[in-house]
Structure 1
Amino acid sequence: MFSGANTGFQRIAGSPGATSQAIPYVTGGAGSIVGFSGSLDINNLSPGTYNFSLCSNVINNAAAPVVGNIISTIALTVTATISGTLKFAVRSTDVGPQTVFVSNGAPYVTAPATVAWTSNIAGNPVALRDAISLYSNPSPASTAVYTIFISTGI
């Protein structure tokens, strides 16, 4: 799980402050990245595309990942201003844009947004002891938590 308020590498949830290019999540087995989810508390999120790069083995203190470190890219595309709690989930096997939901003091409804998965490396592979980092550009929210789901053979 990752969280963060700034564009760039996000923090591992619960860490004392270092971002995930300095203290990454380390995989416990070989497999693949199979899903990504987000929950964001937002106020007037502007239309645009917000990209999340799911990365492996980024060098310590890198300003941004290089292309070879990006396993998958998740694009959150917003078509109208949104406020409230935004939630989404996307899997590596999903085809095309997926629905995003928002709640602003009422039950969740479909948001004017979609989320889509692009595999930069076929099969979205991870190896035992890979260092997994999350890079956001730009960051859509000052309060958010993200989850990368990994399926391993152990």
Structure 2
Amino acid sequence: MNAAPRIVTLGETFSSTLELSAESVKSFATLVNDLNPLHHDDAYAAQSRFGGLIASGTQPTAHFMALLATHFSTYAQPLGLEFDIKLKKAVHANDTLTITWRVRDAYWKPSLNGDLTHLEGSVTNQRGDTVLIGTSTILVMPKPEASADTSTSAGKNAP
């Protein structure tokens, strides 16, 4: 009996770092239609309990989720299925965030033709504060074979 294919490595850890400038905080909040003045109005945010602009919760969350697709698409075909995310602290404009994910478990699911993969992750700022934690279940399938270039044969009889 053949062993089930394995795409994902148990215990695999990967991370990415990014800085959220004040301009990116404002632009992202506008893009997602989060009009809370804490994300747009410097004077308003300065008077708040946060002492300055903070990112919409959707911004670090989007980067957190996107790292899974970015990482696994380098060698496979990932598909996000489930996320459980907890926002722990505000992310301030100009924070440098480190996003880290770890493969907790994975098993081959023949009916889906891929590894059903369970991960846990976190986002920390430059002060070492954990600002977000989460878990995810994704499907990681083999990368499709590159199809033959049909553009040359399709246009053979064209004038």
- Relative to the length of structure 1, the TM-score reads 0.36
The answer to which structure, 1 or 2, has the higher relative contact order (CA under 8 A, 6+ apart) is: 1
Q: Which has the larger radius of gyration?
A: 2
- Relative to the length of structure 2, the TM-score reads 0.35
* Structure in which a larger fraction of residues adopt strand: 1
